[in-house]
């Protein structure tokens, strides 16, 4: 009976307009975003949206009363509430009924099997629990503010006491959330990620070849390299495989990777990477690539394996780990870590490269995926490009904080969409997506070639802090081929939806979201590096080979 009494009291305290606004926000959250959502995620997202809507409804009522605006008569008030309640309920039911259709509109574009239902009852239950917890938490904060304000009112004027009391409670809550909750969660996530990084995948063994990075003769100790670095070194195309593709004897590709545990600072890790690259003969190769990995230290095989085939194994790729957390988490915690690491590695490699005779040194390229693109795109500054320019760069999935990418997209040609922009005459910088569009800018390339690969459905690219109040440019005009036609911008709600898409960015098939396909990398590397003796037939043959390997 006591529980029933408590529930009844809490229910009676709910604001009618808060519930109405919350219901509309709940309904809006069921509409599609960039990626399909499992019903559990949908329930949590809808609960958060409902609580935000409730807060706005309560705030609107409070503002009306504070402004001392006239209240409607009792009959009009009752009628308005009845109409509002019916309209909100019908909207929510209708949106729940359509939720499976909306989710399937994305799944069809991404070649995923359709869902038969959106599990409306489960979504409603989870959303109700999440919203209730958030509303109760908000009430607890408000009650705390009132208690502190009442105590301060004994010695201060009421308005001053109210403002100061609220400020004290909010500051204490922020400090507690940061020190206890946020740091605790990050510490737990860090511990889990560290265990994954220290593990070694089955079938990955220390190289026996003396010139291999991580071997007994290597300057880089095998045990100091993280899980993804070991995969990068020990896996990849074999010399026999590349030779078979070319129909002639080819050299073995060189790979150098320095882990977080190899040296204590970025500068020392970069120096070690240079020393190891010199030891294995990386500067004697035709192509040298400075690659910045993702937050976990991962280098996409679709990017690194393909370029080694394209250049007949006459390549050297050097990389350096800066984190073991996922990119979306590293962006929130310490995104500059990627930039500092990429700069340190490039500076060391570039300084040595510039000392070599121009006719007897490899062509130098940059590469980065996700947070790796964020770090790598600023490592070669304007002075570098003017004094002794590198030869090009290939970036994929550059995340939303990427300043260079953002500037290029903002200054695109007016008649091109944000998700596939054209920059000036395309002789230096080009963009492409699922389908190769690199030739649309014409055949004329300059000496320095830069290509950005991006998907219209990649939340890591299109998330923005301004989504709550501003319609994004990627939803204006023609939309990307992998974006649902039902996706519409809704204030606040779209921000919550895309924010929830971030941790699920790689949960979709290759070629969508934050998963970039080998065929896109092949087109990008061919355009950027202009391989000698390469033709369209080889491009298609290599694409078929990697498509088969992916199956």
CA 96 vs CA 33, 92, 109, 489, 491: distances in Å: 15, 6, 21, 18, 20
Instruction: Read off the tokens for 438.
Output: 């690199």
Q: How many Cα atoms are found within 13 Å in the side-chain-facing hemisphere of 351?
A: 10
Going by pLDDT thresholds of 50, 70 and 90, the confidence category of residue 342 is very high
pLDDT of 248-270, one tens digit each?
999 999 999 999 999 999 999 99
Place of tokens 């002639």: 248
Q: How far apart are CA 74 and CA 81, in angstroms?
A: 11
Give me the chain's average pLDDT, please. Answer: 91
Q: How far apart are CA 420 and CA 480, in angstroms?
A: 8
Structural domain boundaries in the chain: 2-152, 206-458+509-550
Q: How far apart are CA 249 and CA 242, in angstroms?
A: 8
Q: By three-state DSSP, how is residue 514 classified?
A: coil
- Which whole number is the average pLDDT over 334-359? 94
Does residue 528 surpass a pLDDT of 80?
Answer: yes
Segment (H or E) for 93: helix 74-109
In contact, 365 and 290? CB cutoff 8 Å: yes
- This prediction has a pTM of 0.91
Does residue 551 surpass a pLDDT of 50?
Answer: no
Closest by CA to 497, choosing from 30, 17, 62, is 30
- Which whole number is the average pLDDT over 360-380? 95
pLDDT of 427-439, one tens digit each?
999 999 999 999 8
Q: Report the pLDDT value the prediction gives residue 178, as an integer from 0 to 100.
A: 64
Q: Report the pLDDT value the prediction gives residue 181, as an integer from 0 to 100.
A: 62
Instruction: Read off the tokens for 488.
Output: 């519409």
Residue 187, strand partner residues: none
DSSP-assigned states of every residue in 397-431: S--TT-HHHHHHHHTS-TTS-TTS---TTSSSEEE
Q: How far apart are CA 521 and CA 504, in angstroms?
A: 22
- What percentage of the chain's residues is helix, strand, coil (to nearest 5)? 55, 5, 40
């Amino acid at each position: 009976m006591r529980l029933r009494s408590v529930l009844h009291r809490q229910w009676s305290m709910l604001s009618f307009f808060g519930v109405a606004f919350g219901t509309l926000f709940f309904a809006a959250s069921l509409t599609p975003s960039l990626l399909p959502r499992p019903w559990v995620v949908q329930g949590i997202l809808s609960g958060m949206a409902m609580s935000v809507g409730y807060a706005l409804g309560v705030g609107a009522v409070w503002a009306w009363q504070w402004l001392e605006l006239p209240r409607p008569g009792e009959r009009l008030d009752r009628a308005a509430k009845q109409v509002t309640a019916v309209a909100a309920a019908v909207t929510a039911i209708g949106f729940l009924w359509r939720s499976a259709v909306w989710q399937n509109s994305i799944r069809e574009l991404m070649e995923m099997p359709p869902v038969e239902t959106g599990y409306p009852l489960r979504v409603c239950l989870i959303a109700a629990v999440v919203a209730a917890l958030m509303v109760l938490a908000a009430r607890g904060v408000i009650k705390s503010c009132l208690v502190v304000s009442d105590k301060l009112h004994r010695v201060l004027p009421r308005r001053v006491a109210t403002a100061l009391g609220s400020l004290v409670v909010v500051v204490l809550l922020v400090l507690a959330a940061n020190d206890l909750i946020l740091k605790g969660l990050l510490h737990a996530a860090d511990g889990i990620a560290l265990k994954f990084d220290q593990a070694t995948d089955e079938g990955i063994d220390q190289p026996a070849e003396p010139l291999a990075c991580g071997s007994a003769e290597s300057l880089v100790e095998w045990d100091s390299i993280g899980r993804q670095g070991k995969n990068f070194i020990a896996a990849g195309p074999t010399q026999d495989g590349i030779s078979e593709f070319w129909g002639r004897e080819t050299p073995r590709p060189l790979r150098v990777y320095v882990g977080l545990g190899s040296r204590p600072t970025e500068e020392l890790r970069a120096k070690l990477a240079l020393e190891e690259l010199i030891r294995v003969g990386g500067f004697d190769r035709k192509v040298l690539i400075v690659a910045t990995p993702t937050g976990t230290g991962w280098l996409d095989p679709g990017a690194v394996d393909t370029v080694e085939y394209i250049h007949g194994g006459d390549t050297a790729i050097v990389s350096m780990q800066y984190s073991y957390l996922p990119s979306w988490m590293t962006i929130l915690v310490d995104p500059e870590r990627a930039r500092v690491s990429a700069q340190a590695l490039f500076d060391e490699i570039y300084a040595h490269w510039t000392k070599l005779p121009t006719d007897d040194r490899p062509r130098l390229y940059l590469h980065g995926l996700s947070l790796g693109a964020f770090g790598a795109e600023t490592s070669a500054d304007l002075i570098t490009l003017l004094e002794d320019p590198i030869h090009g760069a290939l970036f994929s999935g550059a995340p939303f904080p990427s300043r260079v990418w953002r500037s290029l997209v903002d200054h695109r040609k007016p008649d091109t969409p944000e998700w596939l922009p054209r920059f000036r005459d395309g002789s230096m910088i080009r963009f492409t997506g699922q389908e190769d569009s690199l030739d649309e800018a014409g055949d004329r390339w300059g000496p320095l070639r830069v290509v950005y690969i991006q998907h219209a459905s990649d939340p890591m690219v299109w998330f923005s802090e301004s989504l709550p109040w501003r319609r994004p440019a990627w939803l204006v005009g023609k939309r990307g081929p992998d974006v649902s036609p039902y996706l519409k911008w809704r204030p606040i709600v779209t921000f919550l939806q895309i924010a929830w898409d971030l941790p699920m960015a790689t949960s979709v098939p290759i070629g969508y979201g934050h998963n970039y396909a080998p065929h896109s990398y092949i087109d990008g590397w061919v355009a950027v590096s202009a391989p000698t003796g390469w033709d369209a037939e080889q491009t298609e043959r290599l694409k078929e080979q990697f498509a088969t390997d992916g199956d």
